[in-house]
Amino acid sequence: TGQRWDSLRKSKKYQNLVRWYNSIALEYASVLNELTETYVGKRGLGKPKSAKPKEKEENTTNAENSDREKSMCPFDVELPGAEVGKVVLRFAPEPSGYLHIGHSKAALLNQYFAQKYQGRLILRFDDTNPAKESNEFVENILADVETLGIKYEKVTYTSDYFPNLMEMAEKMIISGKAYVDDTPREQMQKERMDGIESKCRNNSIETNLALWKEMIAGTERGLQCCLRGKLDMQALNKSLRDPVYYRSNPIAHHRIGKMYKVYPTYDFACPFVDVHEGVTHALRSSEYHDRNEQYYRILEDMGVRKVQIYEFSRLNLVYTLLSKRKLLWFVEHGKVDGWDDPRFPTVQGMVRRGLTVEALLQFILSQ
């Protein structure tokens, strides 16, 4: 309430302290207001508030609660082209770890828009990499989603659409919009950085189809190959430089076993499944900004309708990790108790530490 505190709140040096203060002020707004009006007046800095009739106090409390609810849900924004009753969204985590606070923001934002437009929300597991995924992660993500109070229409898996994705891949090979490449990975990465076309880029359709069948069969020759999109190797946006659509991988999938020897990448599968499931708006964090152009280009090459991307800011925290790959290292090396370790930024870790779900939701919604 003093001038010194007002100046501290404006300083960038004490942002963590200010964030803590704002959290307390939001949680105990009515109590703090009463204390300020009563005791600050007694110290001579103003007159204490006179007693109000009971009815007037109740009206004031209701107004404060209303303001508090509004402050907890600051997403007062519109989805481009959205129509009430026609919006379909998806929250699509990869089952390669437990949900952390960054995923929570994406899930809650999807639910907010689904409720605002009286639309539908799909919970989809993006299970395209059998080397990193497991049923344990699926089960715990479902538990975390329930903890957050996320209401979804149904649960789907990208692996449900593997036959459709393979048909689309073959269709794009035949139309000359994809090719099979056997360039070693490190060399391929360097060529992409330098804008150098692969020696396989202009292979005939017949050659590409033959190599594609080798990949599907999981032969020694097929395991040396990947399927790439033929986009633009000179594009300034490097995500357009012939991205990989399919990789060979003989590892068994946690849901469907060893049925497949090739798996689609996220870049290829995501836009296709979005269209297949009727998604109208795909919410993506700003870290994917450079890939938005790629997303639209792949939809165009597939010859399907456009899905509108809505971009939101990524949640960044200091002195902690939000990378599942790095969190996994701590778990695998026994540095922590598990994914629910109270030092982890996972939903289960923070709840185990003593954070209430309500407080967690308030923090996420205030970002």
CATH class of 163-266: alpha beta
Exposure of 136 in the CB half-sphere (CA atoms within 13 A): 8
Per-residue model confidence (pLDDT) at position 31: 75
- pLDDT means per 10 residues, the chain with 367 residues, are 66 73 75 70 46 49 47 65 96 92 88 94 97 94 93 97 98 98 96 97 98 97 97 96 97 95 97 98 90 97 96 78 84 87 88 84 72
- Is this prediction's pTM over 0.85? no
Exposure of 334 in the CB half-sphere (CA atoms within 13 A): 0
Per-residue model confidence (pLDDT) at position 30: 76
Question: How is the chain split into domains, by residue range?
Answer: 88-160+268-366, 163-266
H/E stretch holding 201 reads none
Per-residue model confidence (pLDDT) at position 51: 44
Question: How far is the C-alpha of 285 from the C-alpha of 336, rounded, in Å?
Answer: 28
Q: Give the residue among 300, 200, 307 at the shortest CA–CA distance from 244.
A: 200
Neighbours of 67 (CB within 10 A): 12
| Catalytic residue positions, numbered | 94, 314, 324
Per-residue model confidence (pLDDT) at position 295: 97
CATH class of 88-160+268-366: alpha beta
Residues 6+ apart with CB under 8 A from 234: 195, 241
- Residue with the two structure tokens 């481009």: 80
